Amino acid sequence: MFVVAGVTGHTGKVVAETLLAQSLPVRVIVRDAKKGEPWKARGAEVAIAEVKDVKAMTAALRGASGAWLLSPPDMSVTDLDKHAREVAAALKAAVAESGVKHVVFLSSIGAQHASGTGPIATLYVIEAALNETKAHVTSLRAGYFMENLLGNLHPMKEQGVLPAMFGAERKVEMVATPDIGALAAELLRAGASAPKVVELSGPTPTTLTDAAKVFSAALKKPINLAPVPQAAQVGVLLGVGLPETWAKAYAEMNAALEAGKVAPVGTLRRGLITLEQFVARALQG
């Protein structure tokens, strides 16, 4: 039995769909029973749990040989460090008490750093906690989500600009979430033979200059980069509706990207989806 969290998001959905397509037993974790109905119709078991509910998470994981776990973003959180410690403690307890043998955890390139990387630093805390359990833990450290670029579609379509929160020529490891989900399913099937850490990116490193060219071709209009100085980023992010905690965290992450701190430490696995393919599919949808 494989347990899959986050099936209402991009990665978990792909993990569950891949395993079900291979006729493997799957139990999905959802917070709302209604969101579990489509999965039940496809043959999956459904467990209702929230990430900090140790009792419910333990029940959801019990009897599983492997589980795909993550820490879902919560924009209502006002203290990221405290939230990370709470999630870490809950997942550690649930994994330990359930006896699940293998965990694949959605982490990020750069999670080897304890601080200075914005929200990525919260994953360092959770990785460390999970590694204190008896389970075999695989941290799938993914690159910068290509999906993040879609948050700039409005200014690109309306004003022809792509806000640049880090240097235009800074090469960043970006990956499409379907590639993450596909690799996660592969790692779950590998079980105890899966590596402890896997770093994943797309086919090639990408710059914001590259991204502007790809969106320009797809939208059939010129897209120019609009640099946002680091000192102005928190204000800009607040202006587009982010809570202060998250605005500061993302500004710190952007600074870490610019400084080259969010970088792989091992041999990268490379996904299949190029930025061109990703953008074409996203705009079709």
Question: What's the whole-model pTM score?
Answer: 0.95
pLDDT reading at 96 higher than 90: yes
Tokens of 284: 């079709």
Strands (E) located in the chain: 2-4, 26-30, 45-48, 66-69, 102-108, 136-142, 144-145, 161-164, 174-175, 197-201, 224-227, 269-270
Tokens of 276: 């061109």
114-146: pLDDT as tens digits: 999 999 999 999 999 999 999 999 999 999 999
Give residue 285's pLDDT band: very low, low, confident or very high (50, 70, 90).
Answer: low
CA dihedral over 201, 205, 211, 213, signed as positive or negative: negative
In the chain, helix, strand, coil percent, each to 5? 50, 20, 35
CA 27 from centroid of its chain's CA atoms: 20
- How many Å is the Cα radius of gyration of the chain? 19
End-to-end distance of the chain based on CA atoms, in angstroms? Answer: 33
Q: Domains plus CATH for the chain?
A: 2-146+175-202+261-273 (3.40.50.720)
